[in-house]
Amino acid sequence: MARIDIRLEPRPARTALFAEPCARLVDEPAARSRLPVPVAARARDRLRLPSGEAAHRDASG
pLDDT digits (tens, 9 = 90+) for 8-54: 887 878 877 888 999 999 999 999 999 999 999 999 998 875 455 44
18 DSSP 8-state letter? G
More confident residue, 56 or 24: 24
Residue 16 counted as domain residue? yes
Residue 54 counted as domain residue? yes
Residue 29 counted as domain residue? yes
Residue 49 counted as domain residue? yes
Side chain identity at residue 2, one-letter code: A
- Provide the terminal-to-terminal Cα distance of the chain, rounded to the nearest Å: 48
- Range of 54's domain? 12-60
pLDDT at 61: 38
- Residue 4, judged by CB atoms within 10 A of its CB (0-12, 13-18, 19+), counts as exposed
Helices 53-60 and 19-31 pack at an angle, to 10 degrees, of 100
Question: For the chain, how many structural domains are there in total?
Answer: 1
pLDDT at 13: 80
Residue 2 counted as domain residue? no
Residue 46 counted as domain residue? yes
